[in-house]
Amino acid sequence: MANVGAEHPSGSLQSHDIVDAVTSKQGVFDVVVVSPARPVYEGEVKYLSVMARNGSLGIWPRHTDLVAALGIGGLDIHDAAGERVRFAIAGGFLKVGGSRVTILIDKAAAADEIDRPKLEKQLTETKAALQHPKSDEEFAALLNEREWIQAQLALATA
């Protein structure tokens, strides 16, 4: 890769290739994922993507400090060993600070925890309930429930 005149701050890269820098052993960060029910994940990670409240968010090593509200969707972790770990998540917060990312989530489901027939039944029931909600609050709760079920089903089919 040719250097096209862009300069990085002194000491920010060990080489002149940013791809080499972020994918090297020095290009990992610690991740802790917890929910109120249990610890979900802990380890060294090369990259992760997560569904934030307003869209997908990708985190690489040396990411700027950040706090973000999470939405309903996927958490996709690429660990230091090259393995991919995926969860469906709903709500919570992500904090990036230094070389550590802490993710506090309201709900999490791993692919092996998903009961597809049960979720498909719940989705049918939720869609039916959405046809005649009793209040605006119930309608909003049903929309969130539908989105959570769909996130889990998407993980199960991936």
Query: Are both 78 and 142 inside the same structural domain?
Result: no
Contact at 8 Å (CB) between 84 and 108? no
pTM above 0.85, yes or no: no
Query: Are both 129 and 98 inside the same structural domain?
Result: no
- Find the domain containing 74 and state its range: 25-112
- β 84-97/29-34 pair status: unpaired
Q: Is the pLDDT of residue 60 over 50?
A: yes
Query: Are both 85 and 146 inside the same structural domain?
Result: no
Query: Are both 107 and 124 inside the same structural domain?
Result: no
Query: Are both 107 and 30 inside the same structural domain?
Result: yes
The β-bridge partners of 33 are 41, 103
Q: How many domains does the chain have?
A: 2
CATH code for the domain of 97:
2.60.15.10
Query: Are both 56 and 104 inside the same structural domain?
Result: yes
**How many other CB atoms are there within 10 angstroms of residue 46's CB atom?**
19
Where does the pLDDT of residue 4 fall: very low under 50, low under 70, confident under 90, or very high at 90 and above? Answer: very low
